Structure 1
Amino acid sequence: MESGDNSSTAELMSRYVSSELGYGVPKDGWRICLAHEFKEKRKPFQAKDVSFSNIVEHIGLGVRYLKWWYKKTQIEKKAPFIDMFRAIPLRQIYGAPLGGIGGGTITRGWRGEFCRWQLNPGMYHYKTVIANQFTVCLRRGGQTVYQQVLSVERPPTLQGWNWGYCGEYAFYHALYPRAWTVYPLPGQNVTLTCRQVSPVIPHDYQDSSLPVAVFVWDIENKNDYPLDVSIMLTMVNGSGHKDDKGGGHWNEPFHLEKEGESVSGVLLHHCTTVNPYTLCMAAREQVDVINSQYGFTTAFSPKGTCGELWGDLITDGRLDSPTGSSPPTQKGEKVAAALAVGCSVPAQGHNDLEFSLAWDMPNITFGSREREHVRRYTRFFGTKADAAPSLSHYALTHYRLWESSIEEWQRPILQDSSLPSWYKSALFNELYFVVDGGTVWTELPEDSDVSGGLRSDDGGLPAQPAIIKEYGRFAYLEGQEYRMYNTYDVHFYASFALIMLWPKLALSLQYDIAGSVVSCDPTERLHLMSGRNSPVKVKNVVPHDIGDPDDEPWQRVNAYLIHDTADWKDLNLKFVLQVYRDFHLTQDTQYLQDMWPICEAVMESEMKFDTDGDGLIENSGYADQTYDGWTATGPSAYCGGLWLASVCVMCKMARLVNNEAVFQRFRDILDRGSAAFDKLLWNGQYYNYDSSGQDLSNSVMSDQCAGQWFLRASGLGDGQFQVRHKICSALKSVFDLNVMSFAGGQMGAVNGMRPEGVPDHSSVQSDEVWIGVVYGLAAVMIHEGMLEEGLRTAEGCYRTVWERLGMAFQTPEAYCEKGIYRSLAYMRPLSIWAMQLRGYQGKISIVYSSRPLSPCLFLKTHWMRKPEVPSL
């Protein structure tokens, strides 16, 4: 790790990487010793963590939630979209997930365990399958001299295997979408480096969709004699879920030769009633490798000692390969398979072995089982559920091209010495959520209409937008614990990663949201906070989300039922701001034309929140925006700033579409609203939280400049509605109070701070740190020339999450100064890519390319000295 709590190990690992051994492990990234133990053990947020005053205030919500939870779990036998009673406990074990975008994921922990599974779309299973392991066998002169499971664990099962690898001098290194594990073999003078590669490639809309990963094992023999080395991969047919024992699962060997390349392995057919799939482990048979060895076992029981399999490998470094398939399992029985590949490694030399893991679940249903969806990768590999061999062959013969593309993308950032190492690690490793956020990427059915047959009053939205037809539908969860797809108030922050790296998916998502805007669902339902019945979806209002994967996303939106989000103040505004930002970055005029009438419709809906006609919207006195546990009354810094920023971009878009009448209307609103905003909220140093005049209305909100942030990201910002010296003053107040006066300046920015320098404890969210908000705050600081402050602010979050709390590849929504966290593996921290958009006031150049599968958008940043900031 980069922290100094294990300096001797860190120094040793540094010598490994910088030595002439040449493992290819990059200097930058997240690194951890396999023997490391995190000292701090945090617990998830629970009701007991709420103050007494907040409990009293929300007692109605608690009673209604309990009734709803009981009905959902005990009667309907469904998983709640937010389970307040069964929070996921913190397991400090996760590494980079395997697989491309939208085809499901399997996570391999940093100690080598296969431990988190998301094969059924959006539904997670947290189970370490202990039999899923890599094992090494070394032979010299026809005799096995060393055989070891490459795991530090000592499980109570599989006692016939040699467990307990010493991880003291081994380390894991992640720079997503790749990861490296370096295993020095004690007493053998041999080092293994396992390189994990997933096809997550910016601007690539084919290979990035593939449900595959590759493991390349580099073997270095530092002895003066040659060795025969075998690597064995064992996998259970299943994921540790109860349906592994459901019966009917079976395995079979396969061999595929194509274009002069041979790939062989074992297919593990998991034959569930719903969403069956085939898991495939394979290896490339390298005809040019001296004494290449290959063998497999199609079936063994992962119970008991499994000594027979261990002995088979230890005898000659091979596995006897039985012919034919295994019989289907009986109910209550599990079956596993093994694949071993070997080669000779010369004295003082190298060799390598290549494995792939693929999973083929081409046709999926969500929890309602109402309709079938087809995953994106089937466009290239078919829908017949027989693609696993071809996927494996493709992965093993193309992964070097993937790596070349990944290196080309990452190189300018990694080689920039002006960028701190922690930032490089955070920037790339936080991208894991694009893949492992319960992500689905599907084809648009031929008979579908994104708006359910409805149109905005002025038209403008096609039934099947060309971009969705070509690039498919994309959805990712708010969080692995907050199970709602494309939660829009949060996507506002996370969207920078998509628009910068996969802009076609970002626009596709926007078309889906636009289709939902013009649709409605008048079904009345109880909202848990208010206790009132309201329609599920109101026309011309942006939805909170597009549904729950345990129901039927896209078909039934707004799985969130705590508040009636038709009254939320930020959703409509965030749509308008993203439309213009996306147009600014892509220059897609068709997109602007299609979205313009939708923007007019949602802004018209928003007008009702300006109750006094002063050009500025008011909050309602309850939590009516993304801070859904923190109330605001009257005009507020957050929603008022977003409103005026949206009015700004409406003026800009009106001119672009030649609508002078709309321009003049919004220009007038902007003039009046800006004056009201300044009069009601500016206190001489920063913008007050709200204008209610209540005891805590002058709290310092870390996110008070969110509107300005999006204007800057859209090429706007100077002289729009806030004077720059006031923005800089507000940001300085946030830095001094929310950052430096909180936790010694080491944990990022707390959401709310009192001007006297203590956190605002008025709600369950005001005294939290929201990592995604902090990265957005850092971005606007950088935009405004506060480079050092922005870096210091963001660094606190990275150090806390990745190095201190052990939350790698599960960055949460929030943590407090002590004790607790909330909502592991969350969407919002993808906002770190907003820091890269303008890279320390860098310049952006956008270049389009028509070459297939090549990047269509290149960002080039030129780092500049910190500009002068006006004196305050």
Structure 2
Amino acid sequence: MGGIGGGSVTRGWRGEFCRWQLFPGMYTYNTVIADQFTVCLRRAGQTVYQQVLSVETPNTLQAWKWALPGHCAFYHALYPRAWHVYELPGQNITLTCRQVSPIIPHDYQESCLPAVVFAWEVDNRSDEDTEVTIMFTLANGTGGQGNSDDGHWNESFIVPESKKNELQVSGVLLHHSHAVNPYSIAIASRCQAGLTVTHRTEFDPQGTGRDLWEDLVEDGRLNCTDGSGVKTKGHEEVAGAVACTAMVPAGGSAQLEFSLTWDMPRIRFGAQGQDYYRRYTRWFGSNGTAAPELARHALTHYKEWEDRIDNWQRPILEDLSLPSWYKSALFNELYFLADGGTVWLDIPEGMGHDLPNILHEYGHFAYLEGQEYRMYNTYDVHFYASFALIMLWPKLQLSLQYEIAATIMQEDDNQRVHLMDGSRGSVKTRNVVPHDVGDPEDEPWLRVNAYLIHNTASWRDLNIKFVLQVFRDYQATGDFDYLQYMWPICQKVMNYHLRYDSDGDGLIENSGCADQTYDGWPVKGPSAYCGGLFIASLCVMCKIAEMIGSTDVYDKYHDILTRGKEAYDRLLFNGQYYKYDSSAKHYSNSVMADQCAGQWYLRACGLGSGTDEVFPGEHVRSALQTVYELNVKGFADGKMGAVNGMLPNGEVDMSSVQSFEVWVGVVYALAATMIQEGMVEAGFHTAEGTYRTVWERLGMSFQTPEAYCERGIFRSLAYMRPLSIWSMQWALERREGQRGWSAESTPPLK
């Protein structure tokens, strides 16, 4: 829940508030029992039914009626919306809670707001008029990090109608006195004719809850209190409640609306040095009093949000040629853009005088590699995930790229030990793309490369992934100024990278270590993955040089490309596929699922076919067909996506921890590559196996991992790379002519 970069709150499929990321990049995985919705029904002046809309049976708030039968409730999700539907037992009343967050493509104002709306539809199918009250209760805090601070307190508020036709709202404001990053949370409801909004400013979320429960039972309303103003001490907790009441006629319906907003305007990261302000403060101020105004804004405008979300999603949802599972995956995987520890911040005053204007306009944007891998903007992984940004919020992708470009020219000679081999090396080397822009527990952007396992200064994929993204971004935006700005930086990173072609054949060699995004899978000599990406980057360098008019640079890279293409095919293509590497080790002939990554990006850049063909088309299709037969259909009965490595005899490559894994984001990229090459049914079958494994069999919805293996063991929950599913949509939208296929032509996986 919430927009991009202002913190996030997760509400689970059973309606529980269970995951919190208000402090930048740091998570509390904790269900706060007091955070609930409760319904009260009254007929003929008597309360006939009152129930917490939860299946829980907690040890606190025992005076409340818990344990709603699970079969009475249903959950649906299509991000950024979700629906909880409740059939109230014996009441002939259906409640539908529609949860709406302001995630709106190409909108850089609404999309950053820390707000969510709960629109409750009440359908009264009984033959009696029924007074219906929904009560929203919330504890002050997240039940975990930061709750030991003293000084929390609550107060009621009313925000009147504005001259901009914004509605009147009423609610409770919960002040949280965190020592470094103080914040407030507001729960509120819309005030209008026919509705009654009441509140209780304070109750004890660790007590029995009897006073609040009986208050609601008495007349379906809360006895409004203004709060004692007494601040909590030690581990004391305090909660508040807002109730909205409507009379719903027999056979009729009504809508009750609530909002949840939060305001942590100024943040410091773990090092507690530099102050930053979140992007939404441009419109709602930075003095820490914005939560009520955010509540009014959200309740006033959420229907506009929904209209825009509908207009965005409808063409895909109504496309009968696309399978339903794909539509679910495409939109629901976007959760990570908001819930990836994401921060969207203004550049502090006095910093970045020499930065491009786009950075001052759109600020710092960063998201974690994963909720368990706390590194911002991990670049080798963002290479896959970036399709979601460039398609939906392209200015954020360009902003991120400009910041990466700025770090490329920096160096940090401080020495540190790398965990894998004990070697020592500099934190940052000039003319090398950083692995990441920092750790939220340190100082992101100011201290980059939080990754400590290997020395990434010698990684073979980072620099060339920068070049490929630059041209892909230009193709998406048509921003020639961006291309010109990046051109000298592309030359610097490519010139640095040429040192890895030790024999001058136009093809780089890997070191024998795990020196690329597969950082647990050693590779030596020319390799399918890094070699292919390098060849693709040479092609892009030639194309940009041609556009810029850099004849000398074009000649230089065209010569390398000519030699490199020949070496790549000669050393790695064995007549069926591109071998993992040319080292002649026992795993050298492994069939790598990601072997055509270079062709994938070339096609995404509008190159790689026709007169721009770099990899022979018949070789690419043969390689993809081999991957499909062995890594997909030959693995787990073809129902779990593509395993990273498969030996040509049909056995899974067990040479490393990563060769026998399935990487969700790589599978989606592979599927996109297949679609680009006309293997549409194979591409969708490949991706479907991964989707059904993660979202259905393993139950990892909204926490898609980086990897899993055939036994169902997974690694790194809630990961960035699966956003690469948007590269499938990129491929579909750029296919020439009609798709010429139907979802029904591919049998569903059983």
Q: What is the Cα deviation at residue 447 of structure 1?
A: 1.7
Distance 1:360 1:841 in 2: 41
Residue 263 of structure 1 aligns with an amino acid whose one-letter code is V
Aligned counterpart, 2:210:
307
The question of 1:582 aligning with 2:488 is answered no
Residue 98 of structure 2 aligns with an amino acid whose one-letter code is R
Aligned counterpart, 2:141:
238
The question of 1:793 aligning with 2:696 is answered no
Aligned counterpart, 2:122:
219
Q: What is the Cα deviation at residue 304 of structure 1?
A: 2.5
- SS of the aligned residue for 1:107 comes to strand
Residue 188 of structure 2 aligns with an amino acid whose one-letter code is A
Q: What is the Cα deviation at residue 862 of structure 1?
A: 5.5
Q: What is the Cα deviation at residue 332 of structure 1?
A: 2.1
8 Å contact kept, 2:321–2:741: no
Distance 2:431 2:145 in 1: 44
Q: Which of 805, 808, 820 is residue 713 of structure 2 equivalent to?
A: 820
* Structure with the larger RCO, 1 or 2 (CA within 8 Å, 6+ apart): 1
- SS of the aligned residue for 2:58 comes to coil
Q: Which of 704, 718, 728 is residue 811 of structure 1 equivalent to?
A: 704
The question of 1:704 aligning with 2:595 is answered yes
- SS of the aligned residue for 1:522 comes to strand
The question of 1:332 aligning with 2:223 is answered no
Distance 2:235 2:741 in 1: 65
- SS of the aligned residue for 1:331 comes to coil
What is the number of equivalent residue pairs in this alignment? Answer: 737
Per-residue deviation, residues 24-70 of structure 1 (Å, max 9, x unmatched):
xxxxxxxxxxxxxxxxxxxxxxxxxxxxxxxxxxxxxxxxxxxxxxx
Per-residue deviation, residues 104-158 of structure 1 (Å, max 9, x unmatched):
0000001010000000000011000011100000000110000000001111111
The question of 1:106 aligning with 2:9 is answered yes
- SS of the aligned residue for 2:206 comes to coil
Residue 504 of structure 1 aligns with an amino acid whose one-letter code is K
8 Å contact kept, 1:101–1:440: yes
- SS of the aligned residue for 2:39 comes to strand
8 Å contact kept, 1:246–1:333: no
Residue 494 of structure 2 aligns with an amino acid whose one-letter code is M
Name which of structure 1's ranges 316-325 and 687-696 shifts more when overlaid on structure 2: 316-325
Residue 306 of structure 1 aligns with an amino acid whose one-letter code is G
Distance 1:645 1:669 in 2: 12
Residue 131 of structure 1 aligns with an amino acid whose one-letter code is A
8 Å contact kept, 1:783–1:840: no
Per-residue deviation, residues 479-522 of structure 1 (Å, max 9, x unmatched):
00000000000000000000000000000000000000001111
Aligned counterpart, 1:658:
549
- SS of the aligned residue for 1:258 comes to coil
Residue 645 of structure 1 aligns with an amino acid whose one-letter code is A
The question of 1:528 aligning with 2:419 is answered yes
Aligned counterpart, 1:727:
620
- SS of the aligned residue for 1:524 comes to strand
Distance 1:706 1:422 in 2: 24
Alignment root-mean-square deviation, CA: 1.1
Distance 2:64 2:642 in 1: 48
Distance 2:408 2:360 in 1: 19
The question of 1:639 aligning with 2:530 is answered yes
8 Å contact kept, 1:785–1:840: no
8 Å contact kept, 1:841–1:864: no
Aligned counterpart, 1:169:
72
Aligned ranges 1:183-262 → 2 under 5 Å: 183-241=86-144, 243-259=146-162, 261-262=167-168
Per-residue deviation, residues 273-300 of structure 1 (Å, max 9, x unmatched):
110100000000122x2xx221111111
Residue 136 of structure 1 aligns with an amino acid whose one-letter code is V
Aligned ranges 1:740-819 → 2 under 5 Å: 740-819=633-712
Residue 249 of structure 1 aligns with an amino acid whose one-letter code is H
The question of 1:280 aligning with 2:186 is answered yes
Aligned ranges 1:835-846 → 2 under 5 Å: 835-839=728-732, 842=735
Per-residue deviation, residues 289-335 of structure 1 (Å, max 9, x unmatched):
2xx22111111111221111000000000000013553101212111
Aligned ranges 1:411-810 → 2 under 5 Å: 411-449=314-352, 463-718=354-609, 719-810=612-703
Question: Which residues of structure 2 form unaligned runs of 5+?
Answer: 743-750
Aligned ranges 1:50-69 → 2 under 5 Å: none
Distance 2:546 2:651 in 1: 46
The question of 1:268 aligning with 2:169 is answered no
Distance 2:359 2:315 in 1: 31
8 Å contact kept, 2:130–2:248: yes
Q: What is the Cα deviation at residue 169 of structure 1?
A: 3.4
8 Å contact kept, 1:782–1:840: no
Distance 1:243 1:321 in 2: 28
How much identity, in percent, do the aligned residues show?
63
Residue 12 of structure 2 aligns with an amino acid whose one-letter code is G
Q: TM-score with structure 1 length normalisation? A: 0.84
Aligned counterpart, 1:21:
none
Question: Which residues of structure 1 form unaligned runs of 5+?
Answer: 1-97, 451-462, 844-860, 867-872
Q: What is the Cα deviation at residue 243 of structure 1?
A: 3.1
Go from structure 1 to structure 2 and tell me whether the alpha carbon gap of 1:602 and 1:634 turns closer, same or farther (over 3 Å shift). same
Q: Which of 262, 281, 292 is residue 378 of structure 1 equivalent to?
A: 281
Distance 2:628 2:56 in 1: 44
Residue 638 of structure 2 aligns with an amino acid whose one-letter code is G
Distance 2:140 2:335 in 1: 25
Q: Which of 19, 22, 42 is residue 116 of structure 1 equivalent to?
A: 19
- SS of the aligned residue for 2:147 comes to helix
Residue 640 of structure 2 aligns with an amino acid whose one-letter code is M
